[in-house]
């Protein structure tokens, strides 16, 4: 019953989020702030992780296909497929659930603890629209981060493969172009939009409805990461079955 209550409160939160809109000029300022906090502020960690994971994928592929019969172009092909299909959209989103999700939960939870949300309601402001809607809009730019992750990851794989002596530039780029299916990019970005919505709403729900003090804010942030990750993995499974089966 507790799970049903949680699911109900989540959908009621979504209903209130898209009703009684805050003043447009205020929302515009909040959206730009959220873009700076959630999108621009995440570029550094995304670039760092993507570059080195791309390099690791290329090196591990090269070490596991060390056979003269297997073409070296397979390194570029495997790197592209791994990064485009799963690493960039899915595993980067799980990493972002820890960074962005915890930030959203702790910021809204702190406002709940300090009664700032109650103050917004007293002033006649729809607190959910004021707090959650700008985050949803800001994270609609999340595919930009994933596109950057794909590019940097493949670049990292290229540099690791070529300068590590595992392949040549020509072989790697041949592998990148081999059997390229443009629908894989469409699939990856469809997933990304779904994950972005989960990243914006689930942590907000955890923070908005938390009860207690500062200790509970930390617990809510942990729950936020767990549930966001679980929903991302479930959504990934469902979308993959629907689009690639």
Nearest to 137 by CA among 223, 93, 220, 196: 196
> What confidence score (pLDDT) does residue 118 get?
85
Residue 67 CA to residue 116 CA, distance in Å, equals: 63
Matching residue, tokens 């205020």? 26
For residues 26 and 131, the answer to whether their CB atoms sit within 8 Å is no
For residues 213 and 112, the answer to whether their CB atoms sit within 8 Å is no
> What confidence score (pLDDT) does residue 1 get?
62
What is the distance, to the nearest Å, from the Cα of residue 85 to the centroid of all Cα atoms in its chain? 14
pLDDT digits (tens), the chain, 245 positions: 677 887 888 888 898 888 888 888 888 999 999 999 999 999 999 999 999 999 999 999 988 877 777 788 888 999 999 999 999 999 999 999 989 999 999 999 888 888 888 888 888 888 888 999 999 999 999 999 999 999 999 999 999 999 988 888 998 999 889 888 889 999 999 999 999 999 999 999 999 888 877 778 888 888 899 999 999 999 999 999 999 87
> What confidence score (pLDDT) does residue 64 get?
84
> What confidence score (pLDDT) does residue 21 get?
83
Residue 96 CA to residue 180 CA, distance in Å, equals: 28
> What confidence score (pLDDT) does residue 94 get?
94
């Amino acid at each position: 019953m507790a799970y049903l209550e949680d699911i109900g409160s989540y959908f009621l939160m979504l209903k209130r989020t898209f009703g009684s809109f805050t003043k447009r000029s205020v929302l515009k300022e909040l959206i730009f702030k959220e873009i700076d906090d959630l999108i621009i502020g995440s570029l550094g960690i995304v670039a760092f992780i993507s570059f080195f994971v791309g390099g690791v994928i290329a090196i591990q592929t090269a070490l596991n296909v060390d056979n003269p019969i297997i073409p070296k172009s397979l390194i570029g092909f495997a790197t592209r497929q791994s990064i485009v299909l799963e690493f960039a959209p899915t595993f980067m989103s799980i990493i972002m659930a820890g960074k962005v999700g915890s930030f959203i939960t702790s910021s809204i939870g702190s406002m709940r603890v300090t009664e700032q949300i109650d103050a917004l309601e007293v002033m006649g402001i729809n607190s959910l629209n004021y707090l959650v809607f700008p985050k949803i809009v800001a994270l609609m730019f999340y595919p930009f981060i994933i596109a950057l992750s794909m590019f940097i990851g493949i670049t990292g794989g290229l540099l690791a493969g070529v300068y590590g002596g595992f392949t040549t530039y020509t072989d790697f780029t041949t592998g990148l172009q081999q059997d390229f299916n443009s629908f894989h990019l469409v699939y990856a970005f469809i997933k990304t939009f779904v994950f972005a919505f989960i990243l914006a709403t689930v942590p907000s729900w955890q923070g908005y409805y938390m009860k207690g003090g500062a200790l509970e804010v930390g617990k809510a942030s942990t729950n936020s990461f767990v549930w966001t990750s679980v929903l991302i993995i479930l959504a990934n499974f469902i979308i993959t079955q629907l689009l690639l089966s």
